[in-house]
Structure 1
């Protein structure tokens, strides 16, 4: 009997050791899995993007659809409207990201919570499923992102109406715009595996929005003598909004300042070299942020290697090839302005389209129409 008890004790001890070892191995495996999931190859992504998730949060709510569609429509209209400015003013989705947060919280505090049934179906929904959450905020911003970018096909409609002075059927214009947009989203879906899903294909501008999401939705304790991310964001936001009134309304001249044009006011060559509007812009500067970020986006969110890459191409083309071609009078370049978006005849006069000219002539038959080399 004593031998049997010793055997049972030994077996029980071995089982416990084995179970403990298996549990430790399972926890180690889970830890390795977590580390593998959490370990992004891009340091900026690891430091910015959280990996936590709450699957119980509602996402496709009434607030999401209403605020998302409104934000998409407003940004699409405003960016297309301001895109006709000389220095185009771009309203990014970050603006909608900021505005929809108080609106979402207001809807969560005021809308009724009871369920509404869709007639003739078993579907029901609530106008207010609970507190406004981070997932709703993100999805609404995705809606806004879809409308934040201008549509290239609208340029075709603009050219037909503004330059050819022809009327265009609204249905035809609508189908043109929608067709090109759907093709773009289709190509994006086809290349999603390579351009989005890959952990090495990161999009730096999106990290700005992720940081803002965390600043607006996460609670953060303020260190003594310091600022939370939300406080810092609000300070910068209010300061930039107040400053924009100066170049935007009170003193637009600071959007383009050139010392060369001031010193040599009567020199055409100096105007071509120093003017930031119709010249190379050498020695000119601006105090208007839209002049800096209006075309290629904010340099604050762009990595240094991308800025250097664009800068090399810019300097090579604008400051080397264009001056050489212009001042060596290649293809009679000196007959035309250094920079212009207009069309000219070969003798240097501006070419203007009229309805009567279009009816009598064909552009393909004209041999004396040209555009500037730097506009091609």
Structure 2
């Protein structure tokens, strides 16, 4: 290899860095990895210690509770593992200083361990962070529990909910081992998100001599953390409107069109931006961890959606778009009212009622919601063709390399010093969990509506897509989902059953997602030289703890918060709006109750969106051909069609204000700073990302549990309203549709 793709720009590698001998690379071929990950290892450091278990389990419980608690709120706060990574260091050092150096022997087994094996070290810290990382991830299947209890008003047994969440989380682990050679061992699968944590580990543990006039990485981290923490009190408590500043709405306060164009939350977001790090990272993650080409492709996709395609479709009244808001995740009837799904459900069989549907209305979507489904079709099809064209050869080489047992780069060779996890461990998980999944779906009086063949088909889809989607995630830090294609398939095969549809989607989508998540953690352990068996055990135990804790938290809130998730009954300003659950519920209506045949088939309004499958499939081909014809132009390969479609489909859950604020920050640091101040970027970029995430997280928790939880709200003034003050953006522009709070149009 004569060059590599680094942060979105072709870079030349020095011979010393990439010299190969017998197929082995002496250092990583990716510049960010060379700048961030050390190529040394101390095998004498203990990893899975008593401190690791105590602090890891507590961290997993804490993050599982906090993140599930905040997922029901209007602006969900995702406390990432980086926050624990920081907070746990002084606790670990305190335990190392105070615990006795005593060996404890377990009865019967004879197994013994030391309470204090020496100084708190980096490998212990990494494993505790892996525990926390598992806890920071959500349990997607809880959406099913929420819509059953809250939206469909159906009871669900707690034991069924636990089996559902546990089986959906664990199935993907069963085949993650198949792809370790391609997605972890390959030096070209570099997982950008892992480098943020590697940078912080090094800043916290390595002794760094301060150069006069410069800060060490740890000093820089502390200053950035403190500054972000202090500033975040303003948007979190005193001035929540800073989350979305939409000037066009202020200039024309009575114009529906102005609000539609300028609204950053429920509009197209022209000239809208936020002054809150939570707006930057809450939906799209920290842009400082993304390669530049990934950010640029994302912004191109969002721009084309918001300012080219959607305006053309809306103002030409395609799909009768003017009868509904331009930007909404809700479903509507032909009168512009929220779709009343109970009118088309047979309450005895909990299935579709054709006669009631014919006498009521077809299901309609906002134009941004409909377009997002089309681009989701395109993103998935483009993922397959892109990986085959651009990564097929390297995957084949990696397959041959694994057969020939070549070590790859220096990190692979170091990891050869540790015993690998046997493949049968992964297969055992799959064999044990699969019957649990089938029992959850077939048992309990068929509450989940999904037969055994549906479970088998769903996990087959997850298995097939794990490798291509893993390649995208490992190289771009973005991940296409299987949610739409799974909904489409089961909607055609088994229509009229909303819970069967979302259960199939969860088993297909989340099994793949969990496999990729597992592999991402393995890559972090690979970079940090953690014994693989210790990594495996921590991930398994952490997943069990995460499931139990998140389920308990969700069940408690769903049982105690009045009118949770029902935006029509919640008091004004209530944060318990459940944006993710509302999208999930709408999807269950679209794909499960009404079905794709009546939505995207010959009986539906949106049949033309199926052309996006073909568009997505062929879209990488011209880019690939151009890259072959003009190999000297390395930037052509960076035109990443799956990312463009993926980000065009991320709305309406992500808002315009999220994209523009995220894009500006990302381009500034990963294009301008990366090019002009490479040394500063190498030392501080990922550390800054960790500091900003941690600063916001700590402040939001402090404000909620000390003030808001006790009824102490911020000052009551114009800026105290969380939103963009663009209320008319929710209004239709068809004069025949009358909606409360919207001006009459002639």
TM surpasses 0.5: yes
Please classify the TM superposition score into its range, dividing by the shorter chain length. 0.7 to 0.9
User: In structure 2, do the counterparts of structure 1 residues 257 and 41 end up closer, same or farther at CA, with 3 Å as the change threshold?
Assistant: same
- Structure 2 Cα separation of the partners of residues 266 and 308 of structure 1: 35
Deviates more, 1:287-296 or 1:155-164: 155-164
Q: Do residues 94 (structure 1) and 89 (structure 2) align?
A: no
**Gap runs ≥5 in structure 1:** 1-30
Map of 1:333-348 to 2, 5 A cutoff?
333-348=321-336
Q: Do residues 109 (structure 1) and 97 (structure 2) align?
A: yes
SS in 1 for 2:250: helix
- Structure 2 Cα separation of the partners of residues 358 and 93 of structure 1: 45
Instruction: Please list the CA deviations of residues 100-158 of structure 1 after superposition, one character each: whole Å capped at 9, or x if unmatched.
Output: 11111111111221111111122111221111111100111111111222222222222
Q: Do residues 204 (structure 1) and 198 (structure 2) align?
A: no
SS in 2 for 1:191: helix
* Contact in 2 for aligned 1:278/1:340 (Cα 8 Å): yes
Which of the pair has more CA radius of gyration? 1
Alignment partner, residue 218 of structure 1: 206
The offset of 1:306, in angstroms, is 0.6
The offset of 1:213, in angstroms, is 0.5
* Contact in 1 for aligned 2:45/2:123 (Cα 8 Å): yes
User: In structure 2, do the counterparts of structure 1 residues 38 and 184 end up closer, same or farther at CA, with 3 Å as the change threshold?
Assistant: same
Alignment match of 2:178 (pick from 157, 175, 190): 190
Alignment partner, residue 738 of structure 2: none
Alignment match of 1:65 (pick from 49, 53, 56): 53
Alignment partner, residue 314 of structure 1: 302
* Contact in 1 for aligned 2:331/2:338 (Cα 8 Å): yes
Alignment match of 1:370 (pick from 342, 346, 364): 364
User: In structure 2, do the counterparts of structure 1 residues 161 and 372 end up closer, same or farther at CA, with 3 Å as the change threshold?
Assistant: farther
User: In structure 2, do the counterparts of structure 1 residues 75 and 329 end up closer, same or farther at CA, with 3 Å as the change threshold?
Assistant: same
- Structure 2 Cα separation of the partners of residues 44 and 212 of structure 1: 14
The offset of 1:320, in angstroms, is 2.0
- Structure 2 Cα separation of the partners of residues 374 and 166 of structure 1: 30
Map of 1:169-184 to 2, 5 A cutoff?
169-184=157-172
The offset of 1:191, in angstroms, is 2.0
* Contact in 1 for aligned 2:264/2:270 (Cα 8 Å): yes
Superposition RMSD in Å: 2.3
Q: Do residues 229 (structure 1) and 223 (structure 2) align?
A: no
* Contact in 2 for aligned 1:75/1:147 (Cα 8 Å): yes
The offset of 1:241, in angstroms, is 0.8
User: In structure 2, do the counterparts of structure 1 residues 126 and 320 end up closer, same or farther at CA, with 3 Å as the change threshold?
Assistant: same
Map of 1:353-368 to 2, 5 A cutoff?
359=347, 362-363=351-352, 365=354, 366-367=357-358, 368=361
Matched residues, number: 346
* Contact in 1 for aligned 2:344/2:352 (Cα 8 Å): no
Instruction: Please list the CA deviations of residues 145-204 of structure 1 after superposition, one character each: whole Å capped at 9, or x if unmatched.
Output: 112222222222222222112222111111111111112333433322211211001111
SS in 2 for 1:281: coil
Alignment partner, residue 258 of structure 2: 270
The offset of 1:370, in angstroms, is 3.0
Scaled by the length of structure 2, what TM-score is found?
0.44
The offset of 1:356, in angstroms, is 11
- Structure 1 Cα separation of the partners of residues 352 and 314 of structure 2: 26
SS in 2 for 1:116: strand
SS in 1 for 2:60: helix
Scaled by the length of structure 1, what TM-score is found?
0.86
Alignment partner, residue 302 of structure 1: 290
Instruction: Please list the CA deviations of residues 345-376 of structure 1 after superposition, one character each: whole Å capped at 9, or x if unmatched.
Output: 12111134569976278545325133334324
* Contact in 2 for aligned 1:38/1:46 (Cα 8 Å): no
Alignment partner, residue 128 of structure 1: 116
Instruction: Please list the CA deviations of residues 31-52 of structure 1 after superposition, one character each: whole Å capped at 9, or x if unmatched.
Output: 987x956411011111111121
- Structure 2 Cα separation of the partners of residues 272 and 170 of structure 1: 43
User: In structure 2, do the counterparts of structure 1 residues 143 and 355 end up closer, same or farther at CA, with 3 Å as the change threshold?
Assistant: farther
The offset of 1:302, in angstroms, is 0.7
SS in 1 for 2:28: coil
The offset of 1:75, in angstroms, is 1.6
The offset of 1:87, in angstroms, is 2.9
Instruction: Please list the CA deviations of residues 9-50 of structure 1 after superposition, one character each: whole Å capped at 9, or x if unmatched.
Output: xxxxxxxxxxxxxxxxxxxxxx987x9564110111111111
SS in 2 for 1:300: helix
Name the structure, 1 or 2, with higher relative contact order (CA <8 Å, separation 6+): 2
* Contact in 2 for aligned 1:38/1:51 (Cα 8 Å): no
Alignment match of 1:145 (pick from 116, 133, 144): 133
Alignment partner, residue 660 of structure 2: none
- Structure 2 Cα separation of the partners of residues 329 and 166 of structure 1: 38
- Structure 1 Cα separation of the partners of residues 299 and 173 of structure 2: 29
User: In structure 2, do the counterparts of structure 1 residues 246 and 364 end up closer, same or farther at CA, with 3 Å as the change threshold?
Assistant: farther
Alignment match of 1:83 (pick from 55, 71, 75): 71
SS in 1 for 2:113: strand
Q: Do residues 238 (structure 1) and 232 (structure 2) align?
A: no
- Structure 2 Cα separation of the partners of residues 50 and 36 of structure 1: 17
SS in 1 for 2:347: helix
The offset of 1:321, in angstroms, is 2.0
Alignment partner, residue 44 of structure 1: 32
